Amino acid sequence: MSFTIAIDGPAAAGKGTIARALAAELGFVHLDTGLLYRAVGALGGDPVAAARGLHPADLQRGDLRSAEAGQAASRVAVIPEVRAALVDFQRRFARTEPGAVLDGRDIGTVICPEARLKLYVTARDEVRAHRRALELGADPVQILHELRERDARDAARDVAPMRPAPDALLFDTSDMAISDAVRVAIEAARRAGA
């Protein structure tokens, strides 16, 4: 039976970096589930049709890390039919042997509520905005506004709102070096039996 690790949290908190490092350390596969929604949003047209026809090659687009793609992802993620079309893909991926690390906003609560380990990674808004601005070469004030807008939309949506699973390990990366955050995640995975 595969070992599934669910990592949730808001944008730019460090969950993707932690997920990739954790998967590499454990020899697991990794899926940034936000890319699914970013790809659907970036494809344009009918988002439900785009989600149903999503191909793995669509996840390789060079524009998926842009602020525009992030906003588009948040808009299409509130559509129940889009979410339903992508749930099966994510659940199949989570069963990959010997294990899988999935990061997103609803992995521990909706996609993989049975995950052996659930982490909820967060950071202060200003820290997240600074990180994302450095990554994108953008204005931190504008990024802060966009992050707060997106977080509010994702937390308030009727279907699969962003929130920590009741049994998730919560940790704030605001004042942590990435190496320390990765170490915390690896230690938690080892304690859980990975």
138 and 71 in contact (C-beta within 8 Å)?
A: no
On whether 27 is known to bind a ligand per the annotation, the reply is no
Residue with tokens 């039919």: 81
Token pair 């938690």 is at which residue? 188
15 is in an annotated binding site: yes
The response to whether 14 counts as a known ligand-binding position is yes
50 annotated ligand-binding residue: no
Residue 11 assigned ligand-binding role: yes
Determine whether the annotation assigns residue 24 to a binding site.
no
Q: Which helix (H) or strand (E) holds 5?
A: strand 3-8
Cα–Cα distance, 191 to 170 (Å, whole number)? 15
- Residue 80's SS3 state is helix
12: annotated binding-site residue? Answer: yes
49 is in an annotated binding site: no
- Report d(CA 43, CA 58) in Å as an integer: 8
Distance CA 49, CA 53 (A): 6
Residue 96 marked ligand-binding: no
Residues tagged in the binding site annotation: 9-17
Residues tagged in the binding site annotation for ATP: 9-17
